[in-house]
A = this chain, B = another copy of it.
Amino acid sequence: MCELLAMSANVPTDIVFSFTGLAERGGVTGPHVDGWGITFYEGKGNRTFKDACPSSKSHIADLIKSYPIKSEIVVSHIRQANRGCVSLVNTHPFTRELWGRYWTYAHNGQLSDYKGKFTVSRFQPVGDTDSELAFCWILESVVNHFGEQEPENMQPVFDYIAKLADEIRELGVFNMLLSNGIDLMAYCTNNLCHITRRAPFGKATLIDTDVVIDFSQETTPNDVVTVIATRPLTNNENWVVLSPGDWKLFRKGELVLG
C-alpha cells in the first residue's frame, strides 16, 4: 500500500501543509517507509523530488516542508513496496512526455496477472513495478487511439483513459493520479477522497501531526484549491470519498468532469 496526494489550484499554491501530514505517514504515523516522490508543475514545466529514504527521515522531504514551492498542480506518492525492489527507479511519480506535455502519474494498489495485458514498445518501463508498466500501457494505448498530435478537445482522451483504468481495475487495486500539467485526473478503486477549498476559508487541523493552518491567512478570496488524498488529511473538514470506479477531473481547482 501507498499513499497518494495531489493538488489542483487556480493560482500557484504551496502544498507544505498537506505534504507535512503526508510525510508523517512515511515512517511515523504510517508504514510507508520505502521512499516518496512529489512533482510540482509550474506552467508547462515540472520538477520532481524523489527519495528512496522514508519521507519522515529524508533531507529532501525536509526541504519540501520548509521551502514553499508554489504550483498549480502537484502529484505526490509515498510508498510501501509490494512489487519491485526499493530503489529510486521504482519511486513514483513517473513522468513521460506525450504531445509536448509532461504527463505525471502515481499509483496506489497492487495488480496481478498483468504481464500479458500490458504490451508496450514505444513507452517502456525503466523500473520493474506493475505501476510504471500500467502507466506506459495507458500512454501507448492513448497514442494508438488518438495519434501523434494532441486533440483539441481533451475530454475524449480522459474518457478513454478512464475506460483503460476500468480494465486495469479488473487486475487488482488501481487508485491513480494522472496529470498533463493542465488537468488532474483521479481514479478510484477503493481509497481516494478530495476536498475543494474556497472562500470563506477556515482553519484546518492535520490528523497525522500537530499542525493547524488558517487558510484565510494564506489565500485570497478568489483562490480555489482542490486536494486529493488516499485518506483525509484533516479531521475538521468534509472530504468527499470516491466510490469504486469513480473518477474525477479537475482543472484550476474546479471539478470539470466526473
Contacts and interface: CB of A to CB of B under 8 A. Distances in A.
A65 interface: no
Interface in A78-121: 87-91, 96-97, 99-102, 121
Contact of A126 (B44, B48, B88, B124): B44
A87 B126 contact: no
Given A63-B60, A63-B63, A67-B59, A45 B91 contact: yes
Nearest to A91: B45
Given A97-B124, A100-B125, A126-B101, A46 B148 contact: no
Contacts of A121: 148-149
A19 to B, nearest CB: 16
Nearest to A42: B88
Contacts of A59: 63, 67
Contacts of A123: 97
Nearest to A58: B67
A127 interface: yes
Contacts of A99: 124
Interface centre among A46, A49, A67, A88, by most B CB within 10 Å? A88
Contacts of A122: 122, 148
As for how many copies of this chain the complex holds, the number is 2
A48 B88 CA distance: 12
Interface residues of A, number: 35
Interface in A32-49: 42-49
Interface centre among A49, A89, A90, by most B CB within 10 Å? A89
A50 interface: yes
Interface string A111-145: 00000000001111111000000000000000000
B97 A45 contact: no
A47 B45 contact: no
A81 to B, nearest CB: 14
Contacts of A63: 59-60, 63
Contacts of A45: 50, 87-91, 126-127
Given A42-B89, A45-B89, 17 more contacts: A42-B52, A42-B88, A43-B87, A43-B89, A44-B89, A44-B126, A45-B50, A45-B91, A47-B48, A47-B51, A47-B88, A49-B49, A59-B67, A63-B63, A97-B126, A102-B126, A122-B122
6 contacts: A44-B127, A45-B87, A45-B90, A47-B50, A47-B51, A48-B48
